């Protein structure tokens, strides 16, 4: 019960806003347009954003949701967003996300001063007048400390590769597959590498990029190659491409870590055997963060013209604690994850990031592949839990 209590408390802290009863004061329907620069059905990032919208409806908020999918071709994203914004009679609030869309959104929001904009997974450049012509004062940005959540994923992977459970070998080797070699993905990876190093300073982390987000065949090919190099568990940070990671894990009898959503629980609905190979997922709680932001807007509490970073403490990121996780994870590793999470919350562990503008949060600047010797020092001793 201790492990469940911690995550429940964190999630409650994220979404503890006045509930559906408060909608009685909301006389007018809030018309929300969600613009997805991709497609739904990824069982991960964009589906999580849609779940946040669905939750508003399910919990009785007076909202209308219109989701627009721009497709996987980046050439269509700016024009598609422009079209969605220019149809200003059809929405009160427009929501978009990902780093690729920030400047597209920023340079147009001043044209719609009576509209509200939520931007997630990155921040619009508030201080750059070339884009935020009037300061983007009608935009709220929410970011996620993916380095923190991925740190936990790295601790988990580093422990599992040495755990002796069925499907792992004697080599301390883990993998990470990114969709593209871009800062936000590398922020996942530096956290993952640091977490693994906390468990075992001799661990090897294989890192490769697929070059795209909707190519499961390439994802599977790369993951199979990692397994051939004796990786036991691979962290997928590649959107739809990551489906191939799960296919490879099932085929080879090894393991995977999902991303953004609790992917094992989602995939279990159609591929239960495959889901058993996904021991946990590093969740970016996009759904909860968008639900939180919209309800705060309704209650007049959302601060526009600012960006907010949600980490472990705010319930913005974390691991998926489901039946597969508990059934397949040794007790010692469960205790380790609990202890590491507590140490993070107590400020005992300084985490790495690739973003210089987040150093004010107490992080250290890092780069992918810098090695365990370069990790921040800590008094936390993982060997106390793993019996080393």
Ramachandran bin of 323, using left for φ above 0, alpha for ψ from -120 to 50, beta for the remaining angles: alpha
Predicted local confidence at residue 26, as pLDDT: 62
- What is the CATH superfamily name and number for domain 146-283+330-375? Response regulator (3.40.50.2300)
Per-residue pLDDT reduced to its tens digit, 217-242: 999 999 999 999 999 999 999 988 99
Architecture of the domain whose range is 2-144+286-310:
3-Layer(aba) Sandwich (3.40)
Predicted local confidence at residue 338, as pLDDT: 97
Q: Are 357 and 185 in contact (CB under 8 A)?
A: no
Residue 214 pLDDT > 50: yes
Beta strands at 278-284 and 317-319: parallel, antiparallel or unpaired: antiparallel
Q: Are 179 and 241 in contact (CB under 8 A)?
A: yes
Query: Model pTM?
Result: 0.84
Predicted local confidence at residue 5, as pLDDT: 33
Residue 11 pLDDT > 50: no
Q: How do the domains of the chain map onto residue ranges?
A: 2-144+286-310, 146-283+330-375
Do the domains spanning 2-144+286-310 and 146-283+330-375 agree at the CATH topology level? yes
pLDDT-derived band at 387 (thresholds 50, 70, 90) equals low
One-character DSSP codes across 193-229 = HHHHHHH-TT-EEEEEE-S-SS-HHHHHHHHHHHHHT
Per-residue pLDDT reduced to its tens digit, 310-349: 999 988 999 999 999 999 999 999 999 999 999 999 999 9
| CA angle, 328 then 375 then 343, to 5° | 55
Q: Are 236 and 204 in contact (CB under 8 A)?
A: no
Start-to-end Cα distance in the chain: 27
Q: Tokens 């993916």 sit at which residue?
A: 146
């Amino acid at each position: 019960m201790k492990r469940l209590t911690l995550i429940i408390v964190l999630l409650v802290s994220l979404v503890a806003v006045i509930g559906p009863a408060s909608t009685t004061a909301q006389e007018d329907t809030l018309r929300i347009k969600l613009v997805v620069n991709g497609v739904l059905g990824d069982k991960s990032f964009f589906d999580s954003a849609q779940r946040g919208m669905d939750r508003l409806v399910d919990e009785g908020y007076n909202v209308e949701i219109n989701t627009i999918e721009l497709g996987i071709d980046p050439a269509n994203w700016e024009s598609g967003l422009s079209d969605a914004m220019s149809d200003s009679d059809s929405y009160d609030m427009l929501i978009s996300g990902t780093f690729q869309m920030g400047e597209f959104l920023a340079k147009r929001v001043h044209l719609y001063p009576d509209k509200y904009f939520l931007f997630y997974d990155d921040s619009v450049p508030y201080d750059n007048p070339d884009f935020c012509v009037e300061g983007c004062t009608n935009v709220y940005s929410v970011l996620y400390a993916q380095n923190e959540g991925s740190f936990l994923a790295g601790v988990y992977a580093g422990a599992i590769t040495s755990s002796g459970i069925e499907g792992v070998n004697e080599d301390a080797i883990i993998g990470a597959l990114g969709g593209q070699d871009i800062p936000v993905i590398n922020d996942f990876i530096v956290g993952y590498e640091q977490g693994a190093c906390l468990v075992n300073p001799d661990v090897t982390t294989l890192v490769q990029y697929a070059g795209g987000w909707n190519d499961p065949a390439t994802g599977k090919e790369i993951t199979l190659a990692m397994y051939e190099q004796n990786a036991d568990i691979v962290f997928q940070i590649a959107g739809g491409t990551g489906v191939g990671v799960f296919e490879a894990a099932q085929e080879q009898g090894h393991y995977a870590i999902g991303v953004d959503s609790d992917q094992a629980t989602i995939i279990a609905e159609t591929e239960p055997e495959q889901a058993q190979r996904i021991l946990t997922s590093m969740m970016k709680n996009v759904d909860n963060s968008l639900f939180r932001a919209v309800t705060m807007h309704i209650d007049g509490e959302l601060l526009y013209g600012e960006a907010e970073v949600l980490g472990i403490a705010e319930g913005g990121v974390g691991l998926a604690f489901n039946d597969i996780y508990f059934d397949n994870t040794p007790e010692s590793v469960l205790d380790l994850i609990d202890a590491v999470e507590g140490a993070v919350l107590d400020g005992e562990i300084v985490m790495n990031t690739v973003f210089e503008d987040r150093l004010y949060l107490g992080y250290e600047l890092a780069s992918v592949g810098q090695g365990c010797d370069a990790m921040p020092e800590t008094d936390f001793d993982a060997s106390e839990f793993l019996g080393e």
